[in-house]
Amino acid sequence: VEFLYCDLASMKSIRQFVQRFRAKNCPLHVLVNNAGVMLVPERKTEDGFEEHFGLNYLGHFLLTNLLLGTLEQSGTHSHNARIITVSSATHYVGKLHLNDLQSRCSYSPHGAYAQSKLALVLFTYRLQHLLTANGSHVTANVVDPGVVNTELYKHVFWVVKVVKWMTAWLFFKTPEEGASTSIYAAVSPEMEGAGGCYLYNEERTKSAGIAYDEELQRKLWTESCKMVGISDESSRVP
């Protein structure tokens, strides 16, 4: 195991990380996009993005796009490289505000978090569409880990913290249990060649209906490219 530092809330840090990784000339068979914050007070990343959207979504969007070339070189017909992105059941209640992705008009921690998780699902489906269109030996899937007992809940109200402390053993998954579906997506032979799936408890299931809106997927992708400063190669793909 080797550690390379990468701050997903910093576009500069992401680019530096990718440069360091590429310099190693290593293949890349699995990328798991798992960083995130939840229900943080209104604040911005160093690039000026609302933190939920900037870290949870845009950071992973840029990282994945910068590593796509390496992933495509690493995948083969019999062993596809795999991209696994961790979303949340919260995406079912999320709304994507294309005209206000930074939640400047009206900030809600719950709304901003749900939007970032919906964006990850839309991104995954669009990414798989592009990978398929290009004949790439790479698959992209999105995972719902369930309700997991981690430090992600440190910004919830104190009453919720008390309830969580009292009931976590009964209703919450352990971190190991929460990781199981991501691991399944990353290494299971059953998922070889399968992309564009929403997985929960190691099974394929339906995501929110709005996530299948291909026009919304395209618009979000195009806007995301502008925000992180990369060219939109997808414009040539229907």
Per-residue confidence in pLDDT tens, the chain, 238 aa: 899 999 999 999 999 999 999 999 999 999 999 988 887 889 999 999 999 999 999 999 999 999 999 999 999 999 999 999 999 989 999 999 999 999 888 899 889 999 999 999 999 999 999 999 999 999 999 998 866 455 554 545 444 444 444 555 456 657 677 688 999 999 999 999 999 999 999 899 999 999 999 999 999 999 999 999 999 977 666 6
Domain 11-236 has CATH 3.40.50.720: yes
* Cα distance between residue 57 and residue 35, in whole Å: 9
pLDDT on residue 105:
87
| CA dihedral sign, ordered 209, 150, 181, 26 | positive
* Cα distance between residue 191 and residue 100, in whole Å: 36
pLDDT on residue 159:
47
pLDDT on residue 109:
87
pLDDT on residue 187:
96
pLDDT on residue 48:
96
* Cα distance between residue 142 and residue 160, in whole Å: 27
- Three-state DSSP at 118 gives helix
pLDDT on residue 41:
86
Active-site positions? 113
The CA distances from residue 205 to 52, 174, 194, in Å, are 25, 22, 13
